[in-house]
Structure 1
């Protein structure tokens, strides 16, 4: 067939097709129009939901914003929202939960190296004439030991701006931060926010760096590799992750240390928790889900206090106790245990028993003036229901890895305290020394 014959034949076919289309249109016009309108209506009202649900392939990866707060608490916190980057349309959806926003805008990548940032705060910048001379000595220890790290001392006047800009797409966080009535509360909250958003190492201004960060336990193969070798012994296909201190590569996503381990019957008279974690120094990779859960708890506790008119009212036994529960070591310790128990049980243990949990809110535990203990044993109430409890960590003498969290013994961030088994500042596991100058206190109350 020549080209002219082919074109002519195609033209005839086209005319026949056109006639058929006209015939079907004239006969079924009303049905076609009605069907089109109906499909358009379904798209307008349900299109977004239909689209987002089609991206799901399991119960843990469905459109999470359809879940209420209680349902979210039964999801594995570490796996929560790990695929939200595939669902861009939900990021700013009006029904998106706070947990989804946090997971979406600050995703966690456990394979990335630790940030080389060192974060500290003070009322003014270090070049300001009013910056305390003794703090220059403290902060210079961090520079001397970590020459390839970026050391930032953020003035109070810049923290508000940092929080507002960094969490602009999570307005609940910014609102809660602005509602906090005391500087110490904001200082506590900021350390969690900055490590969560940027990653790196936070330490109070009155601390001394005793050893380079690259030599700390998360980068030391003798403390890291045995844990993963035990996993490989049970699962031969498992690949032992790499540890490279020069490039800040470690499988550890969060590093914390024990502050107190009071082995005495009256421990609750002196400490907020039976095992208490310090938060004057902490280290983590950006987006770590434990920090996300901690931030959510503080936001929700602040909202509760605002709703009840308690933002400036003492709910605990005293001012210090209230700070402990709101932003300090009390809530910090609770969330660590609640988070770990959640992930080891794959969400079956829910959100635990600590400050801000469903148990805490439903039972109105914020009205308590003292930490809950078992009257028969003196142990923390509900600790027998935890897989990982204070007993797991009591008398800890070397680093312990739980999932991707490394818990350091009391010596690491509290050397020289002279009690609870703490070694001195020359101990191989002593990394940071807290000088306890009370930098958060009013000037007339500091040592």
Structure 2
């Protein structure tokens, strides 16, 4: 500071002469500054994450998308830590939340609401619904996570994957955060998530997940010795139900997907790769919107469609189909065509104002897939592909009265969704 004041006090000398005079009178200090600057350039700039690291990450991502997404990451188990400068989001999620298909489905039940169960503002009708989950599953650990702690809960679960935490914080609507949370908690902890406006019709141990006859009928190669309802062991790693199967030529005027999966109830073992892929797509879509300055702007037909494509049944359905096709083709079909895929991003599909259809009113690219809506339409019993079990519409949507849905007394009816739309009053 003294040197600087002395330098600035020489006001009657031109700037260049002042600089020369300052250097001449403070050679030692100038020499130290030059050496320090050289060290910074050589050691800080050279080793900071720069073009080389970004290029390395981009190359990894390209390779990841053409690999088998079910078996991806086996090599990471041998590492003690990830190289932070070159680790991809897929590698981080796989490393910190490894998938062990031989382990049981955790005895965890997850639900969320705006306030805690003990709060006076907790709706009375939901108390009745909530009790069905506790009373029918006495050997399960029940969690009701209020909105006030969800963000901290996510930050704790994904402390090693800050991209996920940031994406959650950026989501502009409560319903989007509710969507994202269910995927995040089941991916990290495993178990069964169900919306608050659902009723548990049968104990979870009696679901198709642990039913030897249903599993054998769905996959005659399944190892039935692995199935034990009491120990919750099963060859099934992920359980998904069908929400809509509109068998009509004008389906695209009424529904967003020809066959759509529901996400008000999801069951999985922790670290299941399909949920990982879903999380990645939501994170990437969120960061894309942030980068483009459209986080609070509607993309697509309307606000509802935007939510569906971003965090809801649209991206959920597309990701599951893309994942199943990737695994069935051993990675040859890449990451598919749905929301958040490389194809989706490159072609700016988020700008669509209506559902794309191909010949015979089929969803576009159906003919390019090994597994499409035709593989699952009109189901009346569970189907297993890999370790993913898809349930017929009756399982999570009984009493709907159309699309083949049967009554809640049916053997395959496990959960009833009452469609209260409880998120709408505070959709902000």
TM-score range, shorter chain: 0.7 to 0.9
**1:52 match:** none
Q: So what's the TM-score if we normalise by structure 2?
A: 0.85
**1:214 and 2:205 are equivalent in the alignment:** yes
**1:423 and 2:406 are equivalent in the alignment:** yes
Cα RMSD after superposing both structures: 1.7
**2:418 match:** 435
Q: Would the aligned equivalents of 2:191 and 2:268 in 1 still touch at CA under 8 Å?
A: yes
**1:321 match:** 305
Deviation at 1:227, TM superposition (A): 4.5
Partner residue of 1:231 out of 221, 232, 249: 221
**1:10 match:** none
Paired residues in the alignment total: 374
Partner residue of 1:202 out of 184, 190, 193: 193
1:436 & 1:212 partners in 2: Cα distance? 21
3-state SS of paired residue (2:202): coil
**1:399 match:** 382
After TM superposition, the structure 1 = structure 2 runs for residues 88-167 of structure 1, keeping only pairs within 5 Å, are 88-89=80-81, 91-167=82-158
- Runs of 5+ unmatched residues, structure 1: 1-44, 47-63, 233-238
Q: Would the aligned equivalents of 2:208 and 2:412 in 1 still touch at CA under 8 Å?
A: yes
**2:69 match:** 77
Q: Would the aligned equivalents of 2:174 and 2:426 in 1 still touch at CA under 8 Å?
A: no
What's the CA shift string for 1:163-202, capped at 9, x where partnerless? 0011010011001000000000000000000000000000
Q: So what's the TM-score if we normalise by structure 1?
A: 0.81
Q: Would the aligned equivalents of 2:366 and 2:372 in 1 still touch at CA under 8 Å?
A: yes
Deviation at 1:71, TM superposition (A): 2.0
Shift in CA distance, 241/386, structure 1 to aligned 2, threshold 3 Å: farther
Q: Would the aligned equivalents of 1:290 and 1:336 in 2 still touch at CA under 8 Å?
A: yes
**1:413 match:** 396
**1:251 match:** 235
Q: Would the aligned equivalents of 2:98 and 2:271 in 1 still touch at CA under 8 Å?
A: yes
2:113 & 2:260 partners in 1: Cα distance? 25
Q: Would the aligned equivalents of 1:65 and 1:100 in 2 still touch at CA under 8 Å?
A: no
Partner residue of 1:304 out of 288, 293, 300: 288
Shift in CA distance, 419/381, structure 1 to aligned 2, threshold 3 Å: same
Q: Would the aligned equivalents of 2:212 and 2:224 in 1 still touch at CA under 8 Å?
A: no
What's the CA shift string for 1:316-365, capped at 9, x where partnerless? 21111111000000000000000000011010000000001111011111
**1:33 match:** none
After TM superposition, the structure 1 = structure 2 runs for residues 327-406 of structure 1, keeping only pairs within 5 Å, are 327-374=311-358, 376-406=359-389
2:221 & 2:367 partners in 1: Cα distance? 26
**2:27 match:** none
**1:14 match:** none
What's the CA shift string for 1:356-397, capped at 9, x where partnerless? 1111011111111112101x3110000100000000000010
Q: Which runs of 4+ in 1 moved over 3 A?
A: 64-68
